[in-house]
Every structure is written in structure tokens, then in C-alpha cells.
Amino acid sequence: MPRFFFHILTRTNIIRDEEGTDLTDLGAARSEAIKDARGMMSMAIREGRDLSHRHIEICDAVGTLLLKVAFSEAYEPGD
């Protein structure tokens, strides 16, 4: 099973995922990134912060960028 790394990009910083997560494929990794973004945005909204400008970079074990997921993609009106 491949290992994916989820690096969070803020306006001024990169928060690197040093451990990674084993998932079946890139589709599962994208779903995980969206779930994580929703969780972080939910907490931020309660604290009055806006994280919609952030992104998650999904990389493989050698550091190759596979996909970039915007936090704004995680927002679903009516949730």
C-alpha cells in the first residue's frame, strides 16, 4: 500500500507531514485530505479564523507532488 504525505501550505509556512499515511490510492488520499481540511476549517470557524486560503499538497514517499487540494474544495454549502 502506498504511503502519502499531506503537507499543509499556509500563506507564510509549510507544515510538513513527516510520518505519512498508508492508503490504497490517490483517490483515497484526496478524500483523506478533504476530510482533514474540513476538520481544521470547522475548528477555525469556531475560533473566528479563515483557513480557506490554505492548501494540502499530497506527495509520495520520495517527495513528488501528486495533487494539491485547496481547503476551499472541502467546503460544501448546507453541511
d(CA 77, CA 71): 14
pLDDT at 69: 96
Q: Alpha helices of the chain — where are they, by DSSP H?
A: 26-46
pLDDT at 77: 60
**CA distances (Å), origin 51, targets 1, 35, 41, 47, 65:** 31, 14, 6, 11, 21
pLDDT at 52: 85
d(CA 42, CA 22): 25
9-66 confidence digits (pLDDT tens): 999 999 999 999 999 999 999 999 999 999 999 888 889 988 889 999 999 999 999 9
d(CA 73, CA 55): 9
Average of per-residue pLDDT across 64-72:
95
pTM as predicted: 0.88
pLDDT at 31: 96
- Answer whether 43's CB lies under 8 Å from 37's CB: no
